[in-house]
């Protein structure tokens, strides 16, 4: 345990350019917990390899994701920022937890079904069991809260099931984590198919706004966003495209839907799409500038990685040691 201070944990894969969905649904909210919680925020590179990666790109994106963490407001002095594969306890605990996870539970995971469809030529065991690694990520740090997007809720529920099952047999081992889902921006949808979540792996570049898109690209993408045959900016059932744009605009401007409807009363979708694009670009500009500065200083990023891995390993070792003792493993004298 970490004493009286509660723990927050979350992670992002370095497997593709991060979107405004990643930012609004998760990363932007991470810094809110820095004062009240001990925060562990991880670049989950081990999760990324369930899908084939180009090694050089995975390395580059690992640095980029860490730089984006910091650029989005995560101070390395207040948060433990590190790379998952630098802390071997993640995968070691995952094997143990595999033995406390039911096959049926994993077969019901929505993301396994989705990824199996997308990568039918590579339905590997890691793709099936990676929710157990995610549970390991969380439980290693005796995590109290997990800030997530709504699409990750099923994974945290599975994590809780695994923790409860283990605790039933070996009481007092794991803290039971609670998911925290942001009310605003919890699920940003595709600009091309507004009934589908915005995904960094979408083959249609116009469907996705990336955190690092320049202003002209952002505005162009929003201008092309799918809406409907109506011309009234209002939040209503059946207006998925406009509802999504209103959600995005609300996140970036802090305006309510009622205020947005009043602002654009009597104005068409063209004006509204432009305003959404400009608000998004304005919010991302300072992040992009800070990111560029950070990425140019590779030595600093490696320093952050090393410090974070050392901090994370200290806590992870304690939890893993407790688990091994309860299971009856012989602990080498050098580890005690």
Give the catalytic positions in this structure. Answer: 115, 197, 200
3-class SS string, the chain: CCCCCEEEEEEECCCCCCEHHHHHHHHHHHHHHCCCEEEEEEECHHHHCCCCCCHHHHHHHHHHHHHHHHHCCCCCCCEEEEEHHHCCHHHHHHHHHHCCCCHHHHHCCHHHHHHHHHCCCCCCHHHHHHHHHHHHHHHCCCCCEEEECHHHHHHHHHHHHHHHHHHHHCCCCCCCCEEEECCCCCCCECCCCCCCECCCCCCCHHHCCECCCCHHHHHHHHHCCCCCCCCCCCCCCCCHHHHHHHHHHHHHHCCCHHHHHHHCCCCCHHHHHHHHHHHHHHHHHHHHHHHHHHHCCHHHHHHHHHHHHHHHHHHHHHHHHHHHHHHCCCCCHHHC
Residue 258's contacts (CB-CB under 8 Å, 6 or more residues apart) are: none
């Amino acid at each position: 345990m970490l004493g009286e201070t509660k723990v927050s944990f979350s992670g992002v894969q370095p497997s593709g350019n991060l979107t405004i969905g990643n930012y609004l649904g998760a990363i932007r909210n991470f810094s809110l917990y820095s004062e009240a919680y001990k925060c562990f925020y991880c670049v989950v590179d081990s999760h990324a390899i369930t899908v084939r990666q180009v090694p050089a790109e995975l390395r580059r994106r690992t640095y980029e994701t860490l730089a984006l963490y910091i650029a989005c407001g995560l101070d390395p002095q207040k948060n433990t920022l590190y790379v998952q594969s630098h802390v071997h306890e993640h995968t070691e605990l995952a094997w143990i937890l595999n033995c406390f996870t039911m096959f049926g539970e994993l077969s019901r995971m929505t993301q396994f079904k989705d990824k199996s469809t997308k990568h039918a030529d590579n339905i590997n065991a890691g793709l099936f069991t990676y929710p157990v690694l995610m549970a390991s990520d969380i439980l290693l740090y005796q995590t109290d809260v997990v800030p997530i997007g709504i699409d990750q809720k099923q994974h945290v529920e599975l994590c809780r099931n695994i923790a409860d099952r283990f605790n039933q047999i070996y009481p007092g081992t794991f803290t039971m984590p609670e998911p925290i889902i942001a009310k605003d921006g919890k699920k940003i949808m595709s600009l091309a198919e507004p009934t589908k979540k915005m995904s960094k792996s979408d083959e249609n570049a116009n469907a996705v706004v990336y955190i690092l898109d320049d202003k002209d690209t952002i505005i162009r993408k929003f201008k092309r966003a799918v809406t409907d045959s109506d011309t009234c900016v209002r939040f209503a059932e059946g207006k998925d495209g406009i509802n999504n744009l209103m959600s995005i605009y609300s996140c970036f401007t802090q305006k309510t839907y009622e205020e947005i409807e009043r602002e654009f009363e009597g104005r068409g979708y063209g004006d509204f799409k432009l305003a959404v694009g400009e608000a998004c670009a304005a919010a991302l500009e300072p992040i992009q500038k800070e990111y560029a500065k950070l990425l140019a200083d590779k030595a600093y990023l490696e320093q952050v990685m090393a410090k974070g891995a050392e901090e994370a390993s200290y806590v992870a070792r304690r939890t893993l040691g407790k688990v091994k003792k309860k299971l009856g493993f012989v602990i080498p004298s050098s580890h005690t």
